[in-house]
Structure formats: structure tokens, C-alpha cells
Chains A and B, each alone.
Chain A
Amino acid sequence: MKTSIKTLLAVLVVLTVWSCNDKVLNLQNSGVLDDDAIWNSMTSADLYLTSAYKVFTDYSQVANSRTRFFDSYSDIMKSTSWAEYLHSYNTTLLQANAFSVGGVPSGLNIWDNVYDRIRRMNMMLVDLDNKEEIKDPNWYNHEEDWWDIRRAEVRFCRAYSYYLLTRFYGGVVLRTDKSGVTGGVDDGMYEEDIHRARLTEEESWDFIMEELQWAAENLPEVWDDKWTGRATKSSAYALLSRVGLHAEKWQLVIDAAEEVRALGGDLIPDYASVFNAGNSKENLSEILFGLYFQANTVTHLFDSWNRPVGDKEVYGVSGCYAEHVPTGELADMFEFSDGTDFGWGTWNDGTREDPFTDREPRFHATILYNGAPWEKRTIETFVLGYEPDADDEQTDGTDSFVDFERTGSTGGTPVPDIILGNTCRRIKISYPTEVTSTKPY
């Protein structure tokens, strides 16, 4: 009895100590994913590595960030901001204190954020080296070029990041996956890594072009349909050609463009179908690198912000702001279908019902106007019109800004009596209001 009790106690003690330390100390933070989870399979690794492209959705012109839509800083488009003076487009255009000598207007300042992206990409490149080294038999792929294709994608995105920085700021602080004193990324732990001298602008362009050259050589010519949207050889050569313009390396510009042509790059005959991201791939010869948004639903911010305001009702999504719109001047530059110039004084020659219908195809592919077909409906930008089949109730059109401003919603809200006092009949407001361009890069 006594012996058995002692034995029992001793066994309990030994078992406890033996098994416990590891169980209680090496815990997993299961609320989030860790390295092992990210590199669990080739599919999961791709979901991590493709996030390198987020630099495009964040900081290119077709971006989730509201301040990068450069056309709206020009005469061809304008921001429809509700905060007239505080919106970054207007502060950038109108307020002197948005500028500083040698600096970038606050609304356009991308230095910090793009470097955050660059750091992420540098770490991806370090990860790629480390994981290739391990040669995990569970998912190590025997396609020789799997690793280099991923490296080429990340370096393509990193080159684009440095391209943005060089364009905005001139020479960059070059931080790569190997620039740190430890041979990895620059680490604030080490004094030598903290402050690095800026390259000259020329050195910056040289670095970007070398990176793009390497990327172009290692990227695939085409991706499976499943991955349309990832960078190809054509994407890299196209960007290289553009960077060459900035660097004034004219022969390189020509050579890179010729590479694109050799890879099948060409204009497609139907201009409108450039914007049809959906079912057709025939436009890929013109779209050398595209950023896509989900069709048939409004999920992505750029997609929702730049829709006509009437889509708020259609999709039940509140953020349909029509945030950037073409100017009347831009719309007026599109010719009539017969090639003659458009003019507000000349359009009404007695044969045309309205100023819009009889315009060249590019107009219809670019400008939304009152009566324009859009998705499954017709654009209504009029104010205070009669619904064709309604009684006497005057309403604003579904895409009328006046209605949107007044009620915060659209979709034929009955107009309050007080406004009907200044009555006017169904007027066709003939200003083009929206652009739907998810124009590829």
C-alpha cells in the first residue's frame, strides 16, 4: 500500500514535469496566421506573395487610395468632393501651404507608405530564399522556375514602387532584401542600416531598369486563366519602356517596346472592349498589365467610389460617390460619328435628337450621359423631371447630383413642395457626369 502510493506520487510528479514544459510554453497564437501557415502549400504561398501587387491597388492611379487619381489634378477630370476645401485634390490645387519647396503636396505624399510596401516585398524575397533552401519535400515543386517566377513578380512590383518614388522625389534611398549589414533587409536595430545616403536620380533609374530587365527575363509570357492579372514578360518590358523615357535611354525604350510587340502586344480594334475585363481575353494583347475589379457586384472601393450615384440603390452599397468625373471640356472633345467636331452651338442641326447619341464610339465607351445605357439601366442625370408614367409628381433622375446632395440618396425621391415652387418641366440636363474607366495601367 505505502509503496504503491509513493510510486503513484512519484510517477505523477515525473510525468507532470516531463510533459508539461513544452505544452504550456510553446503555444500557437491561433488567432492569426504564422509563417508555417503562410508557407503551408504553394497555393497559400501564392496568396501571400501576390499581395506584392497591392502597391498597384494602393498607389497607382487606379487605386483604393483617393489621392492618386492624377487625371483629376488635370483639366480633363475633377474630383466631386463634398468637402470643398479640405479634400486633398482641392488642397493640392488651391492651397499654397500644401506645397513646400522640393517636397510633394501632402495629398500626394507616398514616401512612408510605399517604403512600407517595399519592406514587405524585401521580406518576401528573403522568405523565398529561405524557403527554397529548405526544400520541403511536402510541397517543394519540381518546376525549376517556380521560385524565380515569384522573385520576378516581387521584383517587378518593387521596381514599380521605386519608379513611383523616383518620379515623385528624385533619387531614392535604396533598401533591398540584401542591403542590410546582416545581409538581409535593413534593420533599425543596426546603426549602419538606419540612415543610408540617397542615390542620384540616374542611379535610381538604373536600379529600376536592371530589376525590370531581370523580371522580364524570368516572368512567364502568359499565366493560366486562373491567374490573369499577374505580371508577364510584356508587363515588365512595357514598364521598362516607360521607365526608359524618364531615364532618357531612348534605345532601351525602343528595344523594350519591340520586345512587347514581339510577345504579341498590339492595339485591339474595338476600343470599348478594352474596358470589358470580364469574359473576353482578346483584349489582353492591348492590356499588358491590368488591375481588375469584381464584376456584377460592388466589392472593391475603387469600383464603388467611381460609380454613378444611382448605383447606390441598385447595389445597396453606400459608397457610390461618382468621386471622379470628366470635365465638360473632355466630353466635348469627342467628335461626332462622322468625324466632325462637336460643338454646343452646332450639334442641333435638326437631324439629331440630343447632343450625345450621334458621337464617335470612344465617347460611348468613356462618357456617361443622360439617357446612356449603363449596365442594366439607363443613366438619369436630369433634375425635376416627370416620370413618364407617374402622375404629377416631379422627381429627380436616379443619377442626379442635386437629389444626392439634398437627400443623401437617389432613386426618385419625391421632391418636397417647397422646391416645386420654382417649378420647371422635364429638362434634360445635358452634362456628361461619369466616367467608368477602370482603365488598365
Chain B
Amino acid sequence: MFRKPFWVLLCLVAGLTSGYSQRRVSGVVTNQANEPIPGVSVILKDASGSNITGVVTNMTGNYTIEVHSPTSILEYSFIGLKSESVVVGDRTTINITLEEDHTTLDDVIVMGYGSQKRSHLTAAVSTITAKDLVKAPMQNLSNMLTGKLSGLTSIQRSGNPGDDGATLYIRGLNSFTNNGPTIIVDGVQRTMDNLNPNDIESVTVLKDAAAAIYGIQGANGVILITTKKGGDGPTRITYHGSVSFVENTAMPKLLNASDYMYWHNKAREMDGLTPWWTADIQNKVLNDDPNSVWGQTDWMDKIFRTGVNNEHVISASGSSERTRYYTSIGYLNQEGTLKNTSLKRYNFRANLDIDVAKDLTFAIGLAGDRRDRHRPGTAIGNQTEFGPVRQAFNSIPILKSEFEGLPVAWHQGTYNVNGYAALYESGYKKYIQNNLNTNYKLEYNLGGAADVLQGLWASVFGAYNYSQTSESNFDRYYQVYAVSTTRQGPVGASGYSPDNGYLKSQSWGDTWLVRPQIDYGREFGKHSVAASFFYEAKRSYSNTMTGQKRGYYTDDPVDISIGTIAAETPVTGSHTYSGGTASWFARANYSYDSKYLFEFLIRRDGSYVFAPENRWGTFPMVFAGWVISREGFFEDALPFINYFKIRGSYGMTGNENNVTPFLYNSEYSVYNNSMVLGDSPIAQFSMNNAYVYRDLKWSTTHNYNIGIDADMWNGKLGVEFDFFYKLTTDIMETQSGAYPPSLGNYFPSRQNSGEVENKGFELTLKHDNRSVTGDWRYSVRANVSFARNKVLKQVMSDNHPNYRPVVGASMGAVYGFKALGLFQSWEEIDNYPANPSAGNLRPGDIKYLDVNGDGKIHWEQDYVKIGYGQIPEINFALNLDVSYKNFYLTTLWQGVTHVDYQLSGVYDSGVTSSTVYTSPFSGQGNSAYYLITDSWTPENPNAKYPRLSTDANGNNAWQSTWWLVNGEYLRLKQAQIGYYVPEHLLRKTPFSQVNVYFAGTNLVTFSHFKYVDPESPSVSNGYYPQARTFSIGVLLSF
């Protein structure tokens, strides 16, 4: 294993030089376009190949180096280009053109606790570097990963600034809960979306046993994020700025005023009710009668906008004699598409590598960020009662937006609804988070001390994260002019009390980690050996305090001290250790002739989660690889294949997150005023947990992986293929049925008994080509991943119908009624089994299948499996890059299939109900055109949607095939078209590089239901939609 190849090359100086007179050799290094390349390392070697000294090319690609002997060799190398070596001879000028290197085999891949050359890789990993990461300005790193890494699934459920990151999964699902991967930033578990994406050097996804290196945190795969470090060479200052315009990807169009009145009256007639909208009101609406509340308002237009995002990043990197540095500052101002929602993010980073003494380096990484999130007082969510989007749906388009100085609210349903007032009048929710993340690494090269120790390194790595969060929520009472069919007048807005409420929550937390480590790596002829050994300890802590008050008489300032009424529970708080682990780790690598590759690891983890006697687990891993293309017979038989490797791995990982910590102790809570003894109330302690578990443990995942890597036709075709099988056992689950209640709950209701298997494959194909002149270039990167899980063991209740088995099925599968169509006649209804809801059926309502034929439609007996879960089984993506001279176009097409979502069904609260997307005139409000104009009426019996009605029928809300939407999609996820100003135009400017571009995200989407985004959450009642962005940006280097 070669942990620090460049460092080794540059820093190890062989002492012996011969006595020839010195000579100065200079030249310029260019690329194939004849452009000079700065930063190329030029290494002087003696005839035997030992390094003597080295320099790097300057801004104009020039270098000068002292040469001692005509037999000396100069080696030119630069990442992404093929290295060249020349014998100096008599020359004093050597100009070199370096060709692009399409075989990326010498790329160094960041692995767990170290790095590895791609050619020595025996694990299933996907990786991308900075160049491919930032294809278009996006606010979150998690969203940038979409489609770029095989085996990674990303789902973005919301466009709300601050909550618009993607949920990530590696190789699908392995357990009943907690399927998220572990995120490691610069060697420490951290969060992803507070990072400045411009600071990222590379992202690596560990998919197989390689993730097992992370032991008890590796079961769901690991995402390793590495930030940029200073390189050798002169200072390079870069500015990157962009402006993005943001709009909703999808939002249904609601009925306008005249269409609303027509269809609503018709619906009332069909319900046998008197229409509301009389000719008189219709006249007032259409003439915008100034003396009445009637008028015309597009409520969707009122609440949404085109948001503008600004992003500015300045970075500087380079080196001085003993220090290499990368520093940056970043600023992001993100406006959401929903008015009065925004996020500001400030980032800084300083990564320094210092040669503090001979053979001793000290690396320090400091990064900080602050995020300010601003939202209205009214909560925004998929299912929240007063969500502004839901209020816009539930209002009607025939009202003025303001009347008599007050916002007009429709009040025919349960609440007063005016989405616009909810955004601007309801106070605020402010959230500020500060993070400080620091790393320190002291590394000593023992090889410098004695020859026998060559290749031996000792280091101590430490990290400290500090995070502070401040929430400030003001619920401001405001008045609206409420309108119903029977009365009008000012009232208080729904959900707010005249007292005004204020809540302030402050919390802080920190994590420290320390890891002493020893590494060894050396080559003996064709034998290459490496080993690592370390110990790691980590602890996290958090501390929160929340206070609240009521009785505010001003809007600003608002704080706890200004409130006049104390709440019943004015202050709550908690402080807790949220984690601690200790680990031992050992690793050995051996390879022969870069042909036969072996790696063995063992990790031992202890976690605070479990009882002391059951706390430690051992996780072994083994890897092997065979580079067949280095065998003579292979080279002879298949000369067009440049590289071919077969590799396999097995490893065990754990998942501690499935077990609640501290279940091995009795826990008690305090109950104030519990009883009165001696005339005064006393507090009492009462035990929380009925049962104490000493033997609960983590779930164990067995990872099997077999894969091939191949390069053909000199980089014209690259193939990576992996097949995996994961078996997760001992998943903790709860069960209760078998015990009599007289035990008083004293029985083990949690047990390690669940079992899930997960298998699938990933295929990546790469193709690069260019025209003969090199003017035209293009590259194609395509990947497809498949992962399907199956429950092998799960506790089921006794009365679960056996035709709806959970064991043997996939987790997340959707169950519901099978819809047969819409009732077309009263006669059809009469001959139908008892319906699942109270209330009467009418023609145009949904008819369900009575699966067990008992004459009753009941969910417990008649639900069947109707669809896939919300996490797609298949992900695919196509990265297409084309360039012509200084112009380039880069696109990312991305899609998923084998996924479903529901428009109506079971809410998080457990209630089954319809949503604004499925119930006409839901909440007595307005509706989308599609739902109304294609609803069932006697004239439109083959309708796509149920009966036109103002009376929501519970029968039509059930989770069923009717409202299940195929969630597959294909979208142009990111695209960028840009231009590099040619070098010769920049000579007289201070710039070394100028790049301007136009970019966009979510530009085109093909899906089955165009009124909501295909990544929308299931059963939403008006949610914050995802964004489509259009950006313009510039990148300047000095």
C-alpha cells in the first residue's frame, strides 16, 4: 500500500551524488493542445532510478533544474496526464508534451483510514473528484452526488431551503430501520450538507466489505468525503461566483375564478345541494366589485416566486517552503420558491500541511460554517395542519386577497385559510447553526531514521467538532377577514392565540476523536507488503435548553425576557452523551507483481449502546484480486484488453443504530406534583422501562462482493461490474403477543431476531474519445444499479392474513386495496359488499376488490401488495460530456424505476384520509384542473378521477391502486454549457484561467404524473416542491 506516494517522492532524498559538474536544464511542459501546464512535478533521478531532487513548473509551464550527470533521468508527472521520462544527455533545453491519461489506474483512491491506488483496489468503491462533482451550482453536496456514483440512491423530498438535501442510501435497504450510510468527512463522522461543495476534493463510496473497515458503523455503506489540500507549486487564487434562478419543478394549476364557480356549482348540483355561487356573486367576482370581498386571486401565484440564489467562493492554495495550504471562504444566499423562506450559509476552511521537522509533518484542518435559516411562523410540512401550500389549495379564487385592510381568509372548512398571510403575518421560525470542525494529524516517518525502518510511519490523528444551534420561534397572532357562505368579518387566524407565543431553544454539542496509528508499506522486488494498526476512541455530547413564554405586545424585539406570561412548563432541557465508541484495528496487504492482490482486516469495536459484558464485537474482512491482464497468456490472447482484474471480498459489519442506548439500565423519570403527602405536593420517581436488557446486540451484516474492472482499446471502453449479496441478521425488533398481561410487562419485548437479505449489481461503462486534431472530445459515463431486499425473518402478529406475507416480501412494499374502477350505477353499488368507510357510496366513487370474499371490504383482510416502496430498486444515470476547443457541454441524465408513491392513504398520524391531490374541492377549497375537469360525471363515465363532488367521500381516500403512482422518472438532472477564455487572450491580464458558464438542474423531467415531482413524499397535503434552477457563473483564477 502506498499511502503517500508524492510525498515520498518529493521528500526522500538519496544522499549520494557523483562528482560531475552541474548543469542547468530548462524547458516548458505543454499539453496536447500546446498549452503550458503549471504545477507539473519534474523529478531528477539517477540512472538506477533513485530520486535525487525535484521541482515543479511555474505559471507558464517553465521549469529549471540542476542536473549532475548526462545519465540522469527527468520524470514529468501530473495528475490526469501520462508521466514521461527522458534521459538528459547533453541537452540543456527539454520541452515535453504530456498526453492525457485515460487509464486512471494510478489514481489514488481514498479508502477507510488510508488510500490506495486504483490498480491495487480489491473492493467495490465508487469515487468522483472535484471536476465531476460541481456540474451546476447546487446548494447541497448530497444533491450533487445524484447519478454520479454507482450504487448510490438519492431522494430529494423537499425544496425547503435548509431541508432540501437528499436522503442517501447505498445499495438499498438492509434493515427494518436506520438504513442511512455513515458519512465520514476528513476521517471523522460528520454531516454533509453544511459543507461548501467547492471545497471537496473527492467523494468515495465504500459499498462492500470495504465499508466494514468502519465496523459497527459500516453496515449501510460509508461515504468518504475529502476536502482539498494545498499542492506543491505557486499560489493559485480562485474566485467562483454564480447566480441561480429557482422555480418549482411541478405544481398543479388550480381552477381560475370563473372555472371554479362553474365546476363548484355543478358539483353542488350533483350532490343534490343548492349551488353557492349565485349570479349576483358571479357578477361581483368577474367585475372585481370594489365594495365587496369578492374578486379574483390566484393563491398559488401569491405564495410562490422565482427565487434568486447567490453564491461566492474565494479560495487560495499553494505552498511555501515548509507549508502547503488550501484556504477558502464561501457565501451562499438561497431564496426558496415559497415566499419568506431562505437560507444563508457562510463557510471557511483552512487545510495546512506543515513540515515541522525532518520526517515530521503536522497537518491541521479547520473548517467552520454558519447557517441562518428563516421561515414563517406557520409550520411548513407535508401534512401539517396550517401549511401555507395547503392553505393556498384550500382557499378559493373568487376572493380579493385583502379587504378592509385585512388578509381575506376563506372559512368554509375547518380553518381560516390564506396561505399568503400565513407566510408573512404569522411571525417566524429562525434557526442558526454554527459548526466548527477541526482535524489534527502529527505524522512521523520512521524510515528517515534507519534504513531498516523504511516505509514505517507513526501518527496520531485527532479531531474535535463543536456545534451550536439556536432556534427562535415566534407565533404571532394576526387577524384575517374571514368569509364563509353565511358570514363575513374579522377573526383571529387559525392556530394562533392572541397571547402570541415565543419559544427559544439553545443547544450545543461536541465530539472528540483520537486515533494513534502505525503504518508500514514497502516493496521487496515484486513483493509489496503493507500493514496498519490503530486504536480509536470517540465521544459525543449534546446539551439543550428550551424556554417559552406568552404575552407579547410588540413584534420586535421578541425574547424570553420581554414576555409577560409564563408558560405552564416554562423551561425544559436535557443533556446527554450521545455516543462513545472504542476500536482496535489491524490490516495487512500483500501483492505480488501487482498481479495477485490480498488484503486482510480485523476490527474490534466497543460501543456505549450495549451492556458492558456484551459491548465488544469483532468484524473480520478479506479481499483478493487477480489482475489477469498481467498474465502472459492473457496479453497474447486478448491484446485489445489493456487491463482486466477480477476481485472478490467478504466482510462482516455491524449496525448499532438499531438498538436504543442504555436499555441495560433501569431508567426513572420525575413526576412533579405526583401526590400530596403531609399537605404538600411531592415529586415522585417512576420507572420508565419495564424490562432491563443485558444481552441486546448490534445487527450483523455479511457482505459478499465479486467484481471486475476492465480497460479496453486504450481507454475507449472502461467497464466496472459488481455483484453483491448482503445478509443482515440479528436485527432488533419488538414483539409482545406471547406474554400474559399479568407479567406486568416484565418480559423481553425486544430481541435480535430479524433477518433481511439484499442483493443486486452495479455496472459502470466509460467511453472517451476525441477527433484526430483533438478539437472535439467527448466522454460517456453510464451506470446502472439494482438492489432488491427480502425479509427472511420478522415477528408477525397471529392474525396477519397469510396471503399477505411480510416474510419473503420486500421491505417498504406498499399494501392497499385493489381498485376495480368507478361505480357507474346505483345498481352496481347495491350488489357490492359492505364498503370500507362509513357513509354512502355514489356512482363515480371507487370500487375495491373483496379479496377474501367475505362480503366486507376491510383493510385488515383485503389489503394486498400493490406496489414497490418509496426507495427505488433501480437507479441509472448517463453523464455525457462534449467539448470543442474551448467550449464544453456537460450533462447528467438520471432516473430511477421500480418505485411507487401514493397520492392518498395513511397519514403519519395513522389516519387514512384524502389529500388536496385526490379530493375535489378538498377542505371546501379549490382544486387542480386535472382533478375537476376529468372527474366522473354522468356525461364523463370513463373519467380518470372519481366523482365530482363537494362532499369528500372517505371511501375514495383509502390506500389503493387507484392513487398509487409509478414513481419512475428520467430527468436532465444537471447540465452546463461553458467556455474557457483562451490562454493567449489572458497573457496581458492578471488571470491565468477564466471560465464562464450557464447551468441548470432538473431541467427536463419525464414521469407518470406531471402535477407533482416524482420524488415527492407519499400522502402529502401540499408540500414544499423541489426546485428547477437556471444559473450563470464565472470562475476566475489568478
Contact = CB atoms under 8 A, between A and B. Distances in A.
A102 B567 CA distance: 48
A23 B539 contact: yes
B580 interface: yes
Given A28-B577, A31-B575, A228-B679, 5 more contacts: A26-B612, A33-B669, A47-B685, A196-B742, A279-B679
Contact of B739 (A25, A38, A194): A194
Instruction: Indicate the member of B458, B678, B748 with the most A CB atoms within 10 Å.
Output: B678
B820 interface: no
A53 B516 CA distance: 55
A98 interface: no
Contacts of B690: 116, 119
A34 B666 CA distance: 6
Given A48-B684, A48-B685, A226-B678, A34 B740 contact: no
A224 B748 CA distance: 41
Interface in B404-445: 442, 444
A441 to B, nearest CB: 14
11 contacts: A13-B516, A25-B608, A33-B670, A50-B675, A51-B671, A120-B686, A223-B678, A224-B678, A279-B679, A292-B679, A294-B676
Interface stretch (A181-189, A260-268, A353-361, A410-418): A181-189
Interface string B162-188: 000000000000000000000000000
Contact of B741 (A2, A28, A112): A112
Given A32-B668, A111-B742, A227-B677, A24 B537 contact: yes
A391 B615 CA distance: 78
Interface residues of B, number: 64
B442 A25 contact: no
B582 A21 contact: yes
Nearest to B747: A188
Nearest to B514: A16
A228 B681 CA distance: 11
B511 to A, nearest CB: 11
Contact of A299 (B537, B607, B673): B673
B661 interface: yes
Interface stretch (A4-12, A240-248, A398-406, A420-428): A4-12
B676 A292 contact: yes
Nearest to A172: B742
B685 A173 contact: no
Nearest to B684: A51
Nearest to A173: B742
B460 interface: yes
Instruction: Indicate the member of A5, A122, A293 with the most B CB atoms within 10 Å.
Output: A5
A195 to B, nearest CB: 6
Contact of B675 (A17, A38, A54, A185): A54
Interface string A29-54: 11111110110000010011011011
A115 B743 contact: yes
A23 B581 CA distance: 9
Interface in A324-344: none
B618 to A, nearest CB: 16
A35 B665 contact: yes
B606 interface: yes
Contact of A12 (B516, B678, B683, B745): B516
Contacts of B538: 24
B839 to A, nearest CB: 19
A118 interface: yes
Given A17-B516, A47-B684, A29 B667 contact: yes
A28 B676 CA distance: 31
A230 interface: yes
B676 A300 contact: yes
Interface string B606-640: 11100010010000000000000000000000000
B553 to A, nearest CB: 20
A112 B740 CA distance: 9
A273 B690 CA distance: 41
A269 to B, nearest CB: 22
A437 B524 CA distance: 94
Contact of A277 (B574, B576, B679, B744): B679
B449 interface: yes
Contact of A25 (B606, B666, B681): B606
A9 B746 contact: no
B682 interface: yes
B378 to A, nearest CB: 25
A44 B684 CA distance: 9
Contacts of B537: 16-17, 20-21, 23-24
A44 B677 CA distance: 15
A1 B514 CA distance: 24
Contacts of B740: 173, 194-195
B103 to A, nearest CB: 39
Interface in A122-152: 122-123
A50 B677 contact: yes
Contacts of A120: 686-687, 744
B564 interface: no
A5 B607 contact: no
A300 to B, nearest CB: 7
Interface string B522-555: 0000000000000101110000000000000000
Instruction: Indicate the member of B575, B665, B670 with the most A CB atoms within 10 Å.
Output: B665
A177 B564 CA distance: 51
Contacts of A80: none
A34 B49 CA distance: 67
Interface in A241-297: 277-279, 291-295
Nearest to A34: B665
Interface string A49-91: 0110110010000000000000000000000000000000000
A1 B606 CA distance: 36
B840 interface: no
B241 to A, nearest CB: 44
Contacts of A390: none
A235 B574 CA distance: 40
A33 B667 contact: yes
Contacts of B676: 229, 292-294, 300
B747 A228 contact: no
A194 B685 contact: no
A187 B739 CA distance: 10
A20 B688 contact: no
Contacts of B678: 223-229
A233 B907 CA distance: 55
Instruction: Indicate the member of A33, A111, A175, A278 with the most B CB atoms within 10 Å.
Output: A33
A419 interface: no
A27 interface: yes
Nearest to A50: B684
B886 interface: no
A115 B668 contact: no
B677 A228 contact: yes
B669 A24 contact: no
B674 interface: yes
B357 interface: yes
Interface in B564-610: 574-577, 580-582, 606-608
Contact of A21 (B606, B662, B748): B606
B40 to A, nearest CB: 33
Contacts of B357: 1, 5
A50 B682 contact: yes
A5 B741 contact: no
Contacts of B680: 294
A37 B678 CA distance: 24
Nearest to A175: B742
B745 A123 contact: no
B712 interface: no
Nearest to A117: B744
B673 A300 contact: yes
B360 interface: yes
A37 B667 CA distance: 10
A57 B688 CA distance: 18
A51 B684 CA distance: 6
